[in-house]
Chain A
Amino acid sequence: MTLLQLLRLDRIGPFLTHIYRYFIFLGNVFVALSRPPYYFKEIKEQMFQTGNRSLSIICLTGLFTGMVLAFQSGMEMSRFGAKAYIGAVVALSLVRELGPVLTALVVTGRVGAGITAELGSMAVTDQIDAMRAMATDPYKKLAMTRILALIFMLPILVAIADVVGLMGGMIIATTNLNVGFELYRSMIIEALLVEDLVSGITKPVVFAFLIGTIGCYLGMNTTGGTKGVGSATTQSVVLSSICIFIFDFILTKLFFLFGRPV
């Protein structure tokens, strides 16, 4: 084993090739987006699939996240006599961070993985080549429709997760922490600014773009039969998750720089 292999530097070449090909892929998707046909029917179908696949698990995630958040923070805040602010803490944590990130991670596992597996299977069985042979642009028909559907649906799913999470927090606040519903509600309204809502909508759009493009890129470039499909699907989930965390930090930093007063 060479030093290069030991330090895993031999992987830099393939990694850079992937980055280069990913940007070529993005270029093709943007070109596809710029001219008709737009496959509205397929986009609608993909939106339904995205929502249908993730709604129940997102509600569950949102509910328990809100409950745990309220419980953990409420217990600590009670020590300082600040439990009245529990609504504000839950709302800010959920809308700014946990709602977008957790929903995006759930969608990565449910939808992003599904996209890679589906397109990967199509790639290894020549279905994508067949589509091109029949004079259809797969970037338009397969990638663009899925990416747009995710961009439309993820903010909606995040909004649902936020609302369900706030309701979860409310259950804990009213039953375990003796915080009244009216106080909980007024704290939420007082704490949330327009910037938080803008951040809560912008983050899912960026995350959806990442999940969709990574999922489609890896799926459409799958080789190596069923084994290749499996490894592309795993890669898709891992890469999308990493990118979500990285971009969450970057966006949070940007929002604090240009939006909300610190």
Chain B
Amino acid sequence: MIEIIRLSKSFGDKPVLKELSLVLEKGQTTVVLGRSGCGKSVLLKLILRLMSIDSGRIIIDNIDTTDFSEKRMMAVREKMGMLFQGSALFDSMTVYENVAYTLREHTRLTESEIATTVSEKLGFVEMSGTESLLPSELSGGMQKRIALARAMANNPDFIFFDEPTTGLDPITAQTINELIKRVQEHTGASVAVVTHDLESAAFVAQKIILIREGEKHFEGSPAEFQNSDNEFVRLFRTGGKVV
């Protein structure tokens, strides 16, 4: 479980997160919704401590990691996997090397054991046979799937998705949504998805959190989100159209 308490982050004079508090439940998929630029991606980067925190606390599995050094955060990150918005595959490495990366870095597995795991993960995301390809030879949707295989290679306890369906066609987006659901069910990991895609949220979420101007505006189940009378929730649901 990840507990975020009164988390704040500003860039220069511009506050992005304002005393945001929320909980990412263990073994659940939590979707964080919000308008572009409201601090959703920043939230994930703060949990992973890819950015420094201005104020607030981040508690991961009952351990307060707020003041952890970079070295101590490394151990925490080993339990996490992240799918970046642009996939962020290492473009100088093949698909195989990308998926094998974490295993080579953090395990003592032999090369044949690594090959078996890579093959299994690529099979899971339905990308078998692409081992020798470079990321530049793959489409956006394929890159996302490889990035997912890489994120789950080390069987992490937490998997974060930053805008997993942005820029994809509806069919590919749905494939990714199904994969997110399957990953959670298959691994039992705690999953956090940051998106502004309502269809994706409705499909994968067990809990929805809506952020507005850096603050939590709504928290509830997908059904509660659908039925909420809150003005901003309704506005977000209808895409600004008056219904």
A118 CA to B91 CA, complexed, in Å: 10
Q: Is A226 an interface residue (CB 8 A)?
A: no
Residue of A nearest to B41 (CB): A126
Asked if A130 and B90 sit within 8 Å, CB to CB, the answer is: yes
Q: Name the segment of B98-106, B117-125, B209-217 touching the other chain.
A: B98-106
Q: How large is the interface on A (under 10, 10 to 19, 20 to 34, 35 or more residues)?
A: 10 to 19
Report the minimum CB–CB distance from A48 to chain B (whole Å).
14
Q: Tell me whether A78 is interfacial, beta carbon within 8 Å.
A: no
**Cβ-defined contact, A135 with B85, below 8 A:** no
**Cβ A135 vs Cβ B75 within 8 A:** yes
> How many residues of chain B have a CB within 8 Å of chain A?
24
Asked if B63 is at the interface of the complex by the 8 Å CB criterion, the answer is: no
Chain A residues closer than 8 Å to B74, beta-carbon distance: 135, 137
B84 contacts A130, C-beta separation under 8 Å: yes
- Judge whether B77 and A129 touch: CB under 8 Å: no
Measured in the bound complex, the distance between the Cα atoms of B86 and A126 in whole Å is 8
Q: Would A129 and B84 count as touching, CB distance under 8 A?
A: yes
Q: Helix, strand, loop or mixed for chain A's interface? A: helix
Q: Is the interface of B mostly helix, strand, loop or mixed?
A: mixed
Asked if B101 and A134 make an inter-chain contact with CB atoms under 8 angstroms apart, the answer reads yes
* Set of chain B residues within 8 Å of A121, measured between Cβ atoms: 91
Name the one of A122, A126, A127, A134 contacting B77, with C-beta atoms under 8 angstroms.
A134
Q: Which of A126, A127, A129, A134 has the most CB of B within 10 A?
A: A134
A126-B101 contact given A135-B78, A137-B74, CB 8 Å threshold: no
Q: In the assembly, what is the distance between CA of A126 and CA of B162, in Å?
A: 12
Are A127's CB and B78's CB within 8 A? no
Q: In the complex, what distance in Å separates the CA atom of A34 from the CA atom of B150?
A: 29
- CB < 8 Å: which of B50, B81, B85, B88 contacts A127? B88
- Are A129 and B90 interface neighbours, CB within 8 A? no
Q: Do A133 and B75 contact each other (CB < 8 Å), given the known contacts A125-B86, A126-B85? A: no
Q: Decide if B88 touches A132 in the complex (CB within 8 Å).
A: no
Q: Is the CB of A129 within 8 A of B106?
A: no
Q: Is B105 touching A126 in the complex (CB atoms < 8 A)? A: no
Closest approach, in angstroms, between the C-beta of B109 and any C-beta of chain A?
A: 15
With contacts A127-B90, A127-B91 taken as known, whether A132 is within 8 angstroms of B77 at the C-beta atoms is yes
Q: Give chain B's interface residues, CB within 8 Å of chain A.
A: 45, 48, 50, 70, 74-75, 77-78, 80-82, 84-86, 88-92, 101-102, 105-106, 150
Chain A to chain B: the 8 pairs with minimum beta-carbon distance, closest first? A130-B88, A126-B88, A135-B77, A133-B82, A135-B78, A135-B74, A126-B84, A129-B50
A–B Cβ pairs within 8 angstroms, 20 of them: A118-B92, A121-B91, A125-B91, A126-B84, A126-B86, A127-B90, A127-B91, A129-B45, A129-B50, A129-B84, A130-B84, A130-B88, A130-B89, A131-B90, A132-B50, A132-B77, A133-B80, A134-B101, A135-B74, A137-B74
